[in-house]
């Protein structure tokens, strides 16, 4: 009997030794490449700048009501054309909860904005020097999932309030007031930029998308001057969404290591709490003996089996997956095109799904609950970063036209007077595409996710066509679009 028991024990010991050795070697390889794997290595100390501390406190101690009337911005009505939101009837953003575009008009939007104007002014002031962090000290956290307390719902509402204010001011013809709100929206894209949570940076990306579309709206207005445009351009030049998504993934990798360290040291019910086992309610009519057996299984046997058979492999799997996401963002920052990086990330996500559904890999308890939705996050970051670069070029083109009285002959003509360099198209790793038209307008575009230049062919929205085209303003609202706006959104 002793021999029979010794055989599986020996097999487990050898397996454990090999798994631990593989994990140790992989960490050493990452560190040799300069990787930072812990919060202590990654964390930037909280800002002590008085304006930024004040900004942090305002967002920590104040909430903002979610607007119910939110304009639809940069709404595509035809290939390469978008409706200008502040002209004509008010169209509502999908999912706002308002009744319909036909029942809610400019008077309702103005009334809503007047109701929260004073509160929004406080947030607008806090965004003059947006706090880069929440004040959270990551390496001192007792438990790694006790992330910084920040009201993301309220922050999103502030961004929607700023956008609503901007569109309303443009409708009134008050460009300076609209630009003030756009400046604050760009500031929100910089809020919490040093944080180490993926959710923080995904919120930044979503707010950036809102602000960039709001910028398209403002650029359709008359009476701009170069000083206003230069300030708006600087606002968006300070934002870098590739760095945002990379920092989010770096934080997720550090979170995995910290979580694993806590799991290794946990015992009994503490281990169960990590995986929400303690929330499992015994079936009705279960005897005390059955309950005791379930608790033994939950608090002791599962924990022992996990440590003996899976823990090191689980950590290795987690580290490997998130590290490959970090490598993907580094490749994009090094100007490798999305047309090459995107399929790699997609295959990585498919591999993850297949692996975690496999019976063998169901032992990977931490990976199953911790690995982020990678393909959605990085693809969204790439799309909005592309829109940011298109927006910066569009502002520079407007500045060129104001100064010289005609459209720029090429994007290189913007350098160095209006741009330090022509932005790279993430989709192709080549400069963004541009050509002037005889009528004095221009076409500006990214080649789209396939990396192929189709000459500026657009689709029904920014990313549905062969190319991602900076839209021109629709001259008038097509009847079909007007009818659609009357529907409940």
Question: Tens digits of per-residue pLDDT, 238-289?
Answer: 999 999 999 999 999 998 888 888 888 877 677 777 766 444 445 555 565 6
On whether residue 361 sits in a domain, the answer given is no
Helix, strand, coil % (nearest 5) of the chain? Answer: 60, 5, 35
Structure confidence by residue, pLDDT tens digits, 291-335: 455 665 566 676 777 777 888 999 999 999 999 999 999 999 999
On whether residue 98 sits in a domain, the answer given is yes
Structure confidence by residue, pLDDT tens digits, 215-234: 999 999 999 999 999 999 99
pLDDT at 347 > cutoff 60: yes
pLDDT at 485 > cutoff 70: no
On whether residue 274 sits in a domain, the answer given is no
Mean pLDDT of 67-89: 95
On whether residue 258 sits in a domain, the answer given is no
On whether residue 76 sits in a domain, the answer given is yes
Phi and psi at residue 416, in whole multiples of 5°? -100, 10
On whether residue 347 sits in a domain, the answer given is no
On whether residue 108 sits in a domain, the answer given is yes
For 267, the 3-state DSSP assignment is: coil
Q: How confident is the model at residue 3 (pLDDT cuts 50, 70, 90)?
A: very low
On whether residue 172 sits in a domain, the answer given is yes
Close Cβ partners of 208 (under 8 Å, ≥ 6 residues apart):
189, 239, 241, 384, 388
Mean pLDDT of 190-217: 96
Confidence (pLDDT) at 407: 95
Burial of residue 145 (number of CB atoms within 10 Å: 0-12, 13-18, 19+): exposed
| pLDDT higher at 375 or 178 | 178
**Range with the lowest mean pLDDT among 50-59, 143-152, 342-351, 369-378?**
143-152
Q: How many domains does the chain have?
A: 1
In terms of residue numbers, what domain contains 184? 50-247+378-485
């Amino acid at each position: 009997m002793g021999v029979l028991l010794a055989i599986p024990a020996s097999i487990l010991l050898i397996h454990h030794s090999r798994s631990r050795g593989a994990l140790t070697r992989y960490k050493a390889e990452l560190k040799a490449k300069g990787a930072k794997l812990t919060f202590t290595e990654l964390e930037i100390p909280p800002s002590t700048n008085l304006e930024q501390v004040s900004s942090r406190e305002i967002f920590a101690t104040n909430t903002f009501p979610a607007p119910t009337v939110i304009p639809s911005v940069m709404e595509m009505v035809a290939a390469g054309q978008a409706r200008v939101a502040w002209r004509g009837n008010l169209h509502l953003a999908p999912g706002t909860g308002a009744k319909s575009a036909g029942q809610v008009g400019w008077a309702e939007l103005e009334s809503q904005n007047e109701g929260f104007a004073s509160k929004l002014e406080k947030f607008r002031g806090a965004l003059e020097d947006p706090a880069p962090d929440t004040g959270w000290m990551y390496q001192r956290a007792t438990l790694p999932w006790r992330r910084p307390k920040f009201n993301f719902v309220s922050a999103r509402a502030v961004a929607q309030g700023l956008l609503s204010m901007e569109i309303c001011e443009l409708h009134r013809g008050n460009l300076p007031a609209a630009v003030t709100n756009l400046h604050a929206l760009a500031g929100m894209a910089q809020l919490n930029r040093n944080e180490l949570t993926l959710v923080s940076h995904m919120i930044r990306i979503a707010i950036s998308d809102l602000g960039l579309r709001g910028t398209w709206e403002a650029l359709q207005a008359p009476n701009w001057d170069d000083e206003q445009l230069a300030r708006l351009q600087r606002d968006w030049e300070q934002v870098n969404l590739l760095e945002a998504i990379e920092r989010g993934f770096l934080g997720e990798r550090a979170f995995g290591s910290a979580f694993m360290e806590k799991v290794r040291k946990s015992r009994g019910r503490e281990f169960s709490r990590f995986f929400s086992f303690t929330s499992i309610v015994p079936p009705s009519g279960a005897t005390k003996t059955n309950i005791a057996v379930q608790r033994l299984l939950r608090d002791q046997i599962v924990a022992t089996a996990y440590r003996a058979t899976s823990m090191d492999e689980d950590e290795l799997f987690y580290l490997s997956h998130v590290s490959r996401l970090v490598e993907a963002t580094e490749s994009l920052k090094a100007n490798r095109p999305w047309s090459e990086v995107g399929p790699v990330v997609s295959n990585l996500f498919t591999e993850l799904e297949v692996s975690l559904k496999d019976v063998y890999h169901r032992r990977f308890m931490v990976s199953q609950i911790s690995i982020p939705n990678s393909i959605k996050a990085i693809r969204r970051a790439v799309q909005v970063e592309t829109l940011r670069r298109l927006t910066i070029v569009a502002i520079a083109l407007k500045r060129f036209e104001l100064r010289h009285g005609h459209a720029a002959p090429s994007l290189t003509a913007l350098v160095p007077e209006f741009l330090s360099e022509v932005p790279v198209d993430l989709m192709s790793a080549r400069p963004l595409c541009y050509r002037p038209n005889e009528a004095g307008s221009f076409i500006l575009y990214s080649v789209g996710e396939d990396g192929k230049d189709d000459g500026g062919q657009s689709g029904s929205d920014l990313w549905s066509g062969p190319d991602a085209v900076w839209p021109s303003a629709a001259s008038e609202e097509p009847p079909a679009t007007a009818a659609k706006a009357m529907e409940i959104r």
